[in-house]
């Protein structure tokens, strides 16, 4: 299977339009060795180079599509290589790009859980609005780990696992998360026998997620914050990483500790990186710590083959 990282930043992107934190200011002025990043999205394909599954539709989708010509096979007047769209949650950074795809010649084929569907029809009724354009052909995603297939990716087995994270800030259930608000996707290439675990929002590693991490050959997981108090320490927010559903990388029980339990050959990649995270500064001690632990930081345009 082939994976293209379309957007590797968390909500807001990097640099964030109104942010002058050390990273955002530094990348804007060129005083920091760092690369701009668009918001959270990946594309996955099996054998057919003209058939891709879009995982999450970021508000930066149009720029991302331009940056990846492989997603436009140009076989007819109106065309796309995107045969299915999977949403891991109903967050703004993962769903509002659907508006940019409203010229679709057929209803957008979207897979999401019932909880995400509810948020996208009530709290933030993107699906209702799209009904006035191309419409949405919605398919239920069961967050129970059961195997399913998606159009165009024959040979890949997909599984969605409920993860402890948070529904979007606008969700009526923000303060009472339910299983299925956020999922991790486990994708196995039956021919190569290799598995990707993609979880851009991972607030806690429950036993079934620890098992999925242990099965994977490549983990592409929540790289939002380095510390639990990153936003508080910078005076940018009153919320801790864990309060908004993201497990920090450092500290007790953090993502680096989780990574240390994996088989040495497993590829460990952080994605959905918030603009405040010191790992974006390629000369930072935190980035050196990742390199020493053989942990990679996803970047826009990164290609993974499994
Ligand atoms: C998150 O992942 O916590 C959200 O994307 C934050 C946001 O939408 O601003
Ligand atoms: Mn997000
Ligand atoms: Zn910033």
Whole-number pLDDT of residue 152: 95
pLDDT in tens, 92-146: 999 999 999 999 999 999 999 999 999 999 999 999 999 999 999 999 999 999 9
How confident is the model over 154-174, as a mean pLDDT?
95
Listed by start position, the domains of the chain span 2-305
Which DSSP symbol is given to 212?
Answer: H
Other C-beta atoms closer than 10 Å to the C-beta of 288 total 12
Domain 2-305 has CATH 3.60.15.10: yes
pLDDT in tens, 165-197: 899 999 999 999 999 999 999 999 999 999 999
Residues that place a CB less than 5 A from ion ligand 3 = 16, 19, 21, 24, 275
The CA-atom distances, in angstroms, between 214 and each of 135, 149, 209 are 39, 22, 8
CA of 93 to the centre of ligand 2 (A): 5
3-state SS of 117-160?
HHHHHHHCCHHHHHCCCCCEEEEECCCEEEEECCCCCCCEEEEE
How confident is the model over 228-238, as a mean pLDDT?
97
For 261, phi and psi rounded to 5 degrees?
A: -85, -15
Sign of CA dihedral 222, 47, 54, 86: negative
Average pLDDT score over the chain: 97
Pairing of strands 183-189, 156-162: antiparallel
Which residue among 39, 57, 88, 92 has the greatest number of ligand 1 atoms within 8 angstroms of its CB, and so is best to mutate? Answer: 92
Whole-number pLDDT of residue 159: 98
CA of 78 to the centre of ligand 2 (A): 30
pLDDT-derived band at 5 (thresholds 50, 70, 90) equals: very high
From atom 4 of ligand 1, which residue's Cα is the shortest distance away? 11
């Amino acid at each position: 299977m082939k994976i293209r990282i379309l957007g590797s930043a968390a909500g807001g992107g990097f640099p964030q339009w109104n942010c002058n934190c050390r990273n955002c200011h530094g990348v804007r002025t060129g005083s920091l060795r760092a690369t701009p990043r668009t918001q959270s999205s990946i594309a996955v394909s099996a054998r057919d180079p003209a058939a891709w599954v879009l995982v999450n539709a970021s508000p930066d989708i149009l720029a991302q599509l331009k940056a990846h010509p492989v997603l436009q096979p140009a076989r007819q007047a109106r065309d796309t290589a995107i045969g299915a769209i999977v949403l891991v949650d109903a967050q703004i950074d993962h769903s509002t790009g659907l508006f940019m795809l409203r010229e679709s010649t057929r209803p957008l084929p979207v897979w999401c859980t019932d909880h995400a569907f509810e948020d996208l029809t009530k709290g933030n009724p993107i699906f209702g609005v799209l009904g006035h354009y191309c419409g949405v052909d919605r398919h239920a995603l069961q967050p129970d780990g059961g195997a399913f297939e998606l159009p165009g990716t024959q040979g890949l087995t997909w599984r969605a696992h409920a993860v402890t994270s948070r529904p979007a800030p606008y969700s009526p259930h923000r303060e009472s998360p339910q299983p299925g608000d956020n999922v991790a996707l486990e994708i196995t290439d039956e021919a190569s026998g290799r598995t990707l675990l993609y979880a851009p929002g991972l607030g806690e590693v429950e036993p079934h997620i620890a098992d999925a991490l242990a099965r994977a050959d490549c983990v592409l997981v929540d790289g939002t914050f380095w510390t639990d108090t990153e936003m508080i320490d910078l005076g940018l927010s009153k919320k801790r990483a864990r309060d908004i559903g993201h497990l920090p990388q450092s500290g007790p029980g953090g993502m680096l500790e989780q990574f240390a339990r994996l088989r040495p050959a497993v590829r460990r990649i952080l994605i959905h990186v918030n603009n405040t995270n010191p790992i974006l500064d390629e000369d930072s001690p935190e980035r050196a710590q990742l390199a020493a632990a053989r942990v990679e930081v996803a970047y826009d345009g990164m290609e993974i083959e499994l």
